A and B are shown apart, each in its own frame.
Chain A
Amino acid sequence: GAGVSQSPSNKVTEKGKDVELRCDPISGHTALYWYRQSLGQGLEFLIYFQGNSAPDKSGLPSDRFSAERTGGSVSTLTIQRTQQEDSAVYLCASSPGTAYYEQYFGPGTRLTVT
């Protein structure tokens, strides 16, 4: 079946502009995660959603970052007033439910802030 998809695959923006990154999780998966990966680094957790519960925002690096998940499916990560240090690959993952350990990752969105 279809995996996790993300759009756009690449995004170049000017410093100070806002950007929106989209994630379509696997159908039926109740958990959705956002991670960030800077060049040559491991993944950094940003935020996760589980069903209708309040999201865990503990990984968001600043209040310029926010995310929402509509209808328990598609999620959008928004970065306001982008800075050069925001340049990274933003990865989305989904998981079937609370009893599962495995997460399924999308291909990521490469964000470049000039």
Chain B
Amino acid sequence: LAKTTQPISMDSYEGQEVNITCSHNNIATNDYITWYQQFPSQGPRFIIQGYKTKVTNEVASLFIPADRKSSTLSLPRVSLSDTAVYYCLGARSGNTPLVFGKGTRLSVIA
């Protein structure tokens, strides 16, 4: 699966929109771009997934350009409870194990 690169850490104030960009230059045709969120002492939790263009759910939006070499997770109006590590990864159906990098540690400040 594709190797992904994302910032190690980000800081934001409450109420701001946060955008975390991930690069995945070698993503395969059948990989979906998937984001997980992990709070301390918990397992990762699925946030959002997309193939191309834009996907939005109740938690976040995901923007994927036509070349699919990068993606941006957008968290609207973050709160302190959004402080977590966010992982970008390529995912493929057929029960392929997920390949996690170190993720982006987001710290939301009051």
| Beta-carbon nearest neighbor of B32 in chain A | A101
Number of A-B contacts (CB under 8 A): 60
Q: Please report the total number of B residues contacting A with Cβ < 8 Å.
A: 22
CB distance from A60 to the nearest CB of B (A): 12
Q: Please give the distance in Å from B55's CB to the nearest CB on chain A.
A: 13
Most chain-A Cβ atoms within 10 A of its Cβ — which of B34, B87, B97?
A: B97
Task: Return the CB mask of A18-51 against B: 1 if under 8 Å, else 0.
Answer: 0000000000000101010000111111001010
Which bracket fits the contact residues of A? 20 to 34
Q: State whether B97 touches A56 (Cβ < 8 A).
A: yes
CB < 8 Å neighbour of A103 from B41, B92, B98, B102: B98
Nearest Cβ in chain B — how far from A37, in angstroms? 8
Q: Do B98 and A45 have beta carbons less than 8 Å apart? A: yes
Contact (A98, B49) CB under 8 Å given A42-B103, A45-B99, A93-B43: no
What is B's interface to A at a CB cutoff of 8 Å? 32, 34, 41-46, 49, 87, 91-95, 97-103
